[in-house]
A = this chain, B = another copy of it.
Amino acid sequence: MANSPSGDSMLDRIVRILDSFDPKTPKLSVAALARRAQIPRATMYRLIEDLVGHGLLARDHEGQISLGLRLWELANRSAATQDLRTAALPFMEDINQLLGQNTQLAMLHQDDVLVIERLSRPGSVVNQASVAGRMPIHRTSMGMALLAYSPAPVLEDYLSRHEEAVLDYHPRLRHELAEIRRRGYATFDGFIDPETTGAAAPILDGQGYAAAVLAVVVPRGSATLPAAAMALRTAARGISRALGYAADG
Show the binding face of A for B, using Cβ within 8 Å.
1-2, 9-12, 14-15, 18-19, 21-23, 25-26, 46-47, 50-51, 54-56, 58, 66-67, 69-82, 85-86, 89-90, 93, 107, 109-110, 114, 119-121, 130-134
Contacts and interface: CB of A to CB of B under 8 A. Distances in A.
Contacts of A66: 78, 80
B26 A86 contact: no
Copies in the complex: 2
Nearest to A19: B74
Contacts of A15: 54, 56, 74
A22 B78 contact: yes
A50 B132 contact: no
A75 B72 contact: yes
Nearest to A75: B75
Contact of A89 (B74, B76, B79, B119): B119
B74 A107 contact: no
Contact of A133 (B11, B21, B77): B77
A226 B14 CA distance: 48
- Which interface residue of A47, A58, A75, A109 has the most chain B CB atoms within 10 A? A75
Contacts of A50: 1, 9, 11
30 contacts: A1-B10, A1-B47, A1-B50, A2-B10, A9-B50, A10-B11, A11-B54, A12-B54, A15-B54, A18-B75, A23-B77, A23-B82, A25-B78, A26-B80, A55-B110, A67-B75, A67-B80, A69-B80, A70-B110, A72-B75, A72-B79, A72-B81, A72-B132, A73-B109, A73-B114, A75-B132, A79-B132, A85-B131, A90-B121, A93-B93
